Structure 1
Amino acid sequence: MTSKTSIPTADNENWRMNNHSKTTYGPDPEIVLRTPCRSSYAPNEDTHKQIRVYLFQVLGRRRNDLALHLPSVMPLWGKMRIISGGDLIRTKYALRGMSNFEVSYSDAGESRPVDVIGYGQLDKISICELGEHKIYRFLRNTTLILALITPCNTDGTDALISLVGYKEFVAPVVTDV
């Protein structure tokens, strides 16, 4: 999540780097969004619903109220590079096929970190400009880089311990990059 310094568009020179296929995003120089980009992308109702579920979890506001104020256009990006880690992440949208991901996180609420590995496909990276409406509380005037991810059902198997296979996906989720 980044603070909005200006309304970003694919043509905004404040976003541009040396190459027209790369774009830094707002004040966070660690994230570089890469083409393909659809600046006029309008998410379908299912994606909007998943974004509302995510914002409901973060903000604690009613999903129907959030639906009234979400932007209808959210630029869609195909790739993202994390500079400090050197990772280049491609979406299903960019590859027109499968895009696997692995996520590891630690639960800060526990007395000791818990590593969890998840597998699935990264479907989309979208930019969500939250406006000034009071429903956004502490996220007012914030720009979110959101990922739509479809996790795989691995029956809890950890690839660090044994070979992991999967035959099905579970419900897609949205999270802030």
Structure 2
Amino acid sequence: MYKLILVALLALFSQASEWTIQEGVIQAHTEVFGDSDINPATTQISSQLHHDDSGLESLRGEVKLDSMSLKSDTPKRDLNMYELLNTAVHPTITFDMINVLKNDENYTIEGYLTLNGIKKKITSQAVVEQNNSELKLNGAFDILLTDFGMEPPTLLFLTVRNKIDITYTLSYTKEP
């Protein structure tokens, strides 16, 4: 009996594909009304994904980044961004992938984004490509700062836009 259970478990686990991130970039975009664009980005991303033999629709996993790794072209502005993101209390931003749906040539990725200690379900449109031992995800979604308990900062007559556009390019390799 134990041998049968062991064989069944080995068969189950041998059918899963584990993916480790090799490189990637996550970029945010917003604007200061009447002034300029703000485009912080990071390449310091940790992530592990997996799927079974049923295909990319079974893709699940987590993407994580340290909020302090986000950098724009203005270090002084970055300090204000870290304060807004409440990095002293919530230093990590995570995305837990829970569902992947195929749409024509693209995919809809659903998951939970945790930012500023608040977890919200989001949907992203992405191009997902798999070639043997490589997996690439290129996608985008947007959020509202107010949905995550943050008020857009203002200075005199300048206000940061509430909507943040997020783009990502993530490249993975299959674990042997």
Q: Which has the higher contact order (CA 8 A, sep 6+)?
A: 2
Q: Which has the higher strand share?
A: 2
TM-score (norm 2): 0.29
Larger radius of gyration: 2
